[in-house]
Structure 1
Amino acid sequence: MPADSPDLVRGLRLRPVRHDHVPCLFRLECTEACARMAGIKPRAREVFFAKWDAIFADPAVTPRVIELPLPHGPEIVGAINIFQRDAKDYVGYMIFPEHWGKGAASFAVSEILKEDLRRPLYASALRSNVASIRVLEKHGFRLIGSRFEAETERFLAGEVCDFVLDPPTINLEHAMAILDRTPRVLASLLRGLPPEWTHRNYGPGTWCAYDVVGHFILNEQLDWLPRFRRLLQHGESRPFDPFPHDATIRPDSGRSLESLLDEFAALRS
């Protein structure tokens, strides 16, 4: 395979699958090299299109095409989905052969993992599909086993490797160190600066430094502390109340930035 192409990867983007993408996705599945690499047998056209009708109606599926913008219009390089199978979340992808080895699969996996945070996330690849195994391992998937699958109406015979991407683990000591330092870092950066620096944003929908500190205060008062109390009282049996992520104390509140910094430090102490 050719070396990764930085120019290709920089131009790629993920887009939600539309109905008019489905014929191209059918062509992708029917590409002999793709089907062989994935260990599948292409479905009949009517079966394929019926399956996609079900996918469009299923909120548990995150279907994306991998697009390359071109002057004459976007080209579909491949597709990637997160879907459910046997009550587990899986990721699967397929790339047109002319784009193999150019970083498209790695880009797509990286982007969809940022977009869809479901974990643990599972994946499978034929033992012979070395490129896909490398992509999965590069993005933190670990091998949990292998099995030989006999040929079926849908799948080719072959050895299948199973992978999982585990939920992130939190080092409590490290997290506490960051939480403890945050008020002091903010005070060191912002205390004594003129309002021209701390009270001005970049336009509608953006925040200034004052807004950020105000948000930290409300988050501490209305989100973190209530959640901690609920966990102590009820364990994991009751869901958390939603917190508005645009909540903040605005500069027109009449309070000084210094008073906000002091309050945030007191809340974290």
Structure 2
Amino acid sequence: MSGWLNQLAERCYPADNLAEMVTGQRGFVVLDQRRSPEQCRPLLDMPGKHDFITLFAGTALSLLNDASPWLFEIDTDSEAWRYAQSLCQQRLGWVCQPPADQNLQSIADHLRALFVLDDPHGGKSLINLQQPAVWTVLLASAPANFYSHWLNPLDRVATPTPQGQWSIWQADAPTSPAPDRWQLTVDMEAALKESQQAWWLSRMTKTPLASLPNAWLARMKTAMQAGISRSDHLKRLLPIITDEGERLHIQIDDILNTPLSSRQKVQQLERLL
């Protein structure tokens, strides 16, 4: 199993709802409003919403303000909180309940430092941490000291699962100073590249992320490298991707390496079933 999948099982636990996480009167929600502005916009005027911040505003990413994630402070016993949870469960965000010494501005400042990270190649990477798949993988793959620093100001974090439930995260207080700059490790970068494929496989097969076999991710990656990337094509190949044996290994490789179109490759592969 990939290292980040192992750490996923170690760092969070499943929950059917957020009742056990919510202990205070306020919660914070990060929304990927760019993906569905018409669904997110009603939250701006909903009873229970205190305030919100456009996270890219006033930063080096301000030119992307129209695509910026939103951060909301919301009463946890309100219509706005219930609606925000429903948005998150549609892959549009995640929630946290920080300690009393944190406020909307301090949470915004904390998150803004994580949207652009130094990468292992000497460059910088834009991190879409407003997306549940990305934030989940980032938390699962981060070194222990990163993980504790990232979660400490947020305290309890809940990310939706591909099955519509929740993963609850909480870290011990950091035991070392925070570095001056945050940097992706090679392992974190590799995990982020797998994030969307892992989420899709988990949702389509109803298999929890922490239980996904490495072989499934490897087969899906091989298929995509061979030009098979459409969701409907991959869905047709799920019996092969999730096959427990290796009996068709050579035939599959032969087909994937042919100069056929992706549609023709899918048709040829389906004939092996």
Question: One fold, TM greater than 0.5?
Answer: no
Larger Rg: 1
Q: TM-score normalised to the size of structure 1?
A: 0.28
Higher relative contact order (CA 8 A, sep 6+): 2
Q: TM-score normalised to the size of structure 2?
A: 0.28
